[in-house]
Structure 1
Amino acid sequence: MDHTPPARTAQRSALVVPVLCWLALTADGYDLFSYGATVPGLLTAGWGVTPGTAGAVASLALVGVLCGSLVAGTLTDLLGRRRLFVTSVAVFSVAMLVCGIAPSFEVFAAARFVAGAGIGGLLPTAIALTSEFAGQHRRSLVVGAVLTGPPLGGVLASVAAMNLVPSGHFQWVYGLGVIPLLLVPVALRLLPESPAFLRARGRSAEADAVAAAHGLPTGVPTAPAGSRSPVGALFADGQGPVTLGLWAVNVCSLLTVFGVSTWLPQIMNKAGYGVSSSIGFLLLYSAGAIVGTLVAATLAERVGAKAMVLTGFTAATLALVLLATRPATAVVVLLVVVAGFGGLGTQNLLNDHVAGYYPAAARATGLGWALGVGRLGAIAGPSYGALVVGAGNAVVVSSLGFAVPALIGALVMSRLPRRGRAVPSAADLPPAPPTSAAAQRVS
């Protein structure tokens, strides 16, 4: 017989959601950033790939991410977050395997599009789940910790590419992307459904059981089902201008992130660094995002996510401008780390800001559409980068070119309100002590 106190059981259960989401987002980041890490190998693979076609395929994959974000971000609030989480992981894992064994560039490109759709579907779902189960008082810290997953995946992709690309085995980097498929049965067994989703569908008893098992409030009145469309909620109660502003900031942020991450190894290669060393700069970029996200998430608990987003945009702008001065290698290393914090790290804090702005019932939709519209910038980033890579003084031109959207993002973000205007939902209330009778997992 289990005599574990209910509160301790709830504490252990509370770790399940963020750990599963962190693992999935690490795989997400590996898959997404593997392309930039393997571009030097792709250009010499014998498929006749040029910088222009490489940039086009990077953009094609991000079109898939856009589709995945828009569709899954809405479907998670309609069909359930657990189901979309599992489906997204399965889709991008299988697509990565296809990339690893693709016999031609055309098959490879099609698989990258499908992988992008799965990647785009996972992020809003994982952040919405993490944000809801974290509770209001520690949301920034928990969400920030989980959002170290994508840059950690970027580090792993860089390490794999550093060892495989120079020897001509760039497709092996993609083949390793099938490993996250092992996460699917684990998530099916352990990942709970969102209490907010269950309550919105009138399944209050199930919602209370899940909430009690994870230290969230129980006995919350059921929200009316179908009273407002998920997308319509983003523009209700005067929130339209803020929603549009958040979309614009995401465009600027993702253009910078995906332009830099796709072409950084190739730009550094053209600057005179070897293939392994050039890929190593992408590792430093991802490492800066990991450390920056953790530090910024901790500070966001005190000063707010908006302040840290502004700090990140400013740091990225300054780092990129200083890179254009062609400093010594030691300084370049430091600036790339700072750019990682100000690029991907800023995007992570921006996701946290969006997650805290909207109520739980519309959170996945808000994130999905903010990220989906933002993918327009992500789609433009690789193609934009392809233009500057072929220019003279590629380091100077690309650094200044990517500093501009970072600066615009900071200016737009400065005009938006702090999060918290949205009416709190059940999932945003302080957690109530779980009862022993209800402390059980319902998936």
Structure 2
Amino acid sequence: MTGITATTRVQLVTTIGLCFLVALMEGLDLQAAGIAAQGMAAAFGLDKMQMGWVFSAGILGLLPGAFVGGWLADRIGRKKVLMASVALFGLFSLVTAVAWDYHSLVAARCLTGVGLGAALPNLIALTSEAAGPRLRGTAVSMMYCGVPLGAALAAVIGIIGFSGGWKVVFYVGGVVPLLIVPLLGRYLPESAQFQADQSGGERSEANGVWHGLFRNGAASATLLLWLSYFFTLMVVYILVNWLPSLLVAQGFDARQAGWVMLALQLGAAVGTLALGALMDRLPAWAMSLLIYLGILGSLTALGMAVTLPAMLAAGFVAGLFATGGQGVLYAFTPLFYPTRMRATGVGSAVAVGRLGAMSGPLIAGKMLALGTGTAGVMLASAPGIVLAAAAMFCLSRRGGSRQAD
């Protein structure tokens, strides 16, 4: 962090640290439904398609949450929207734990998703703007590694198997975010770039969202980002939501499945940091090839592995490239939008990615209902990864011509 003042350094460390805590809780809640799936299905008598809707309800909430959260942040500030988002997903995580029937469970997951979706664009915008262009990739990766670590924490809770059963992970995912909100209010600095733009009159036009996403040559970057987000998140959420159940169906017990999920999320944390560091050193096109070839290889390994050690290794590599690559996407996206549109641009890409994330568990549930098994689900994911790789490669060849302030 050479070349920045002591005050700026303190603000950057504080921003990364607090945003990391939020990302940790976001990761825990995103993984919670997958970890609790067996217990929820037994408690409410749900079949595979109904569980697919429980998974997808949370992701459905992420879609409007991401877009509206980004849009509001460009108007009233990143900090205010982030605090409201964290309070929202904490509250409805608690409601998930006390849901009384299938419909209340789906509604609670959907509203939890709204809060989670609104938080992420603000985490990315706050961190990237605090870091500046030179440190942006590293800073966003350091913050975002909280997501897989939070998911790993959820896996640990599942492995330990507290007496509270499947509800424990939702109690943790509800109480801790509500405790974080006052810390954000007291210590999190608002984005200096956002404040400068506001004081200078550089406000986003209320009716100019689509114009800002597609004007002045931005259309191709926006569309390529959307395509890459859609298919990358589709695969990530198939793994996050269905992998524990797929492993149980293959003959592994719930504890072994928990260990594989822990390996997946530890790989994701390592991948987020390692790939984020490589992003500052390798050309973007090389990063694209590395990430998506890694995803394809790990999906193949997951479909073929039959022993626990092989599945643990495959899970680690899948997390490294799939979630780690997702972190690189999040660090890459702010480069293509100016401050007054940054949270909106990131939020729109995240929202489109959530469409892929929502469709993934539903497609996997349908394929499993048809009897395709784990290998069939992994094989069906491959074409989407090829399309995401092509989109990211084309975008990276633009060379950051729209790198923002």
Task: Choose the corresponding residue for 2:235, options 256, 273, 276.
Answer: 256
1:421 matched residue in structure 2? 401
Instruction: After TM superposition, list the pairs within 5 Å mapping 1:1-20 onto structure 2.
Output: 7-20=5-18
Match of 2:359 among 380, 390, 395: 380
- Structure 1: how far apart are the matches of 2:351 and 2:303? 31
Change (3 A) 1:423 1:162: closer
Shift of 1:389: 2.8
Deviation at 1:58, TM superposition (A): 1.1
Pick from 106, 129, 134 the counterpart of residue 131 of structure 2.
134
Contact 1:151–1:290 under 8 Å retained in 2? yes
Residues 131-186 of structure 1: per-residue CA shift (max 9 Å, x gap): 00011111111111111011111101111122237x67101211111212111111
In 1, Cα distance between equivalents of 2:266 and 2:245? 18
1:342 & 1:129 partners in 2: Cα distance? Answer: 25
Report the Cα distance in structure 1 between the residues aligned to 2:240 and 2:204, rounded to whole angstroms. 42
SS of residue in 1 equivalent to 2:304: coil
Aligned partners of 1:423, 1:381: CA distance in 2, in Å? 31
**Structure 1 match to 2:192:** 195
Say whether residues 1:124 and 2:121 are aligned partners.
yes
1:352 aligns with 2:349: no
TM-score, normalisation: structure 1: 0.86
Q: 2:144 aligns with which of 144, 147, 152?
A: 147
Alignment of 1:247 with 2:229, yes or no, is no
CA drift of 1:413 comes to: 1.6
CA distance 1:191–1:231, shift in 2 (3 Å): farther
Taking the TM superposition and a 5 Å limit, the aligned residue runs for 1:86-235 are 86-164=83-161, 169-178=165-174, 179-201=176-198, 203=199, 223=202, 226=205, 229-235=208-214
Give how far 1:328 is off. Answer: 3.7
The alignment covers a number of residue pairs equal to: 400
Which of these residues, 41, 44, 47, is aligned with residue 42 of structure 2?
44
CA distance in 1, matches of 2:331, 2:10: 23
Write out per-residue CA displacement over residues 320-344 of structure 1, whole angstroms, 9 at most, x where no aligned residue. 1233233543222211111112211
For 1:273 and 1:25, the matched residues in 2 are separated by 30
Q: 2:296 aligns with which of 305, 317, 328?
A: 317
Q: CA deviation at 1:270?
A: 0.7
Query: For residue 162 of structure 1, what is the amino acid of its counterpart?
Result: I
| CA shift digits 1:397-423 (9 cap, x unpaired) | 122122332222112222223452225
Which of 35, 50, 58 aligns to 1:53? It is: 50
- Over residues 174-216 of structure 1, what are the superposed CA-to-partner deviations in whole Å (9 max), with x where a residue is unaligned? 1111212111111111112222322332x25xxxxxxxxxxxx
SS at 1:31 equivalent: helix
Which amino acid letter does the alignment assign opposite residue 320 of structure 1? L
Q: Quick one: which amino acid aligns to residue 327 of structure 2?
A: N
Q: 2:42 aligns to what SS in structure 1?
A: coil
- Alignment partners' CA distance in 1, 2:345 and 2:161: 39
Query: Is 1:64 matched with 2:61?
Result: yes
Which residue identity is paired with 1:32? L
Query: Shift of the alpha carbon at 1:229?
Result: 2.4
Deviations 1:16-66 (A, max 9, x none): 111111110111111111011111212212x12111001012111111000
Give the residue type in structure 2 aligned to 1:237.
N
Note if 1:278 corresponds to 2:274.
no
Matched, 1:366 2:362: no
Letter in 2 for 1:25: A
Bigger mean CA deviation after superposition, 276-285 or 143-152: 276-285
CA contact (8 A) 1:64 1:113 kept: yes
Identity over aligned pairs, percent: 32
Indicate which of 65, 70, 74 corresponds to 1:73: 70
Given the two structures, how large is their TM-score scaled by the length of structure 2?
0.94
Q: Distance in 1 between matches of 2:306 and 2:292?
A: 21
User: 1:123 and 1:225, CA in 2 relative to 1: closer, same or farther beyond 3 A?
Assistant: closer
Q: Give the aligned partner of residue 282 of structure 2.
A: 303
Amino acid at match of 2:180: L
CA RMSD of aligned residues (A): 2.0
Of 395, 402, 406, the match for 2:385: 406
Distance in 2 of aligned mates of 1:157 and 1:353: 27
User: Does structure 2 retain, via aligned residues, the 8 Å contact 1:231–1:366?
Assistant: no
Counterpart amino acid of 1:341? L
Using a 3 Å threshold, how does the CA distance of structure 1 residues 137 and 52 change in structure 2: closer, same or farther? Answer: same
Greater radius of gyration (CA): 1
Q: Which moved more, 1:313-322 or 1:392-401?
A: 392-401
Structure-2 separation of matches of 1:115 and 1:18: 23
Give the match's secondary structure for 2:82. Answer: helix
Alpha carbons of structure 1 residues 185 and 303: separation in structure 2 relative to 1, 3 Å: same
The amino acid that maps onto 2:34 is G
Secondary structure of the 2:341 match is: helix
Q: Does 1:331 align with 2:329?
A: no
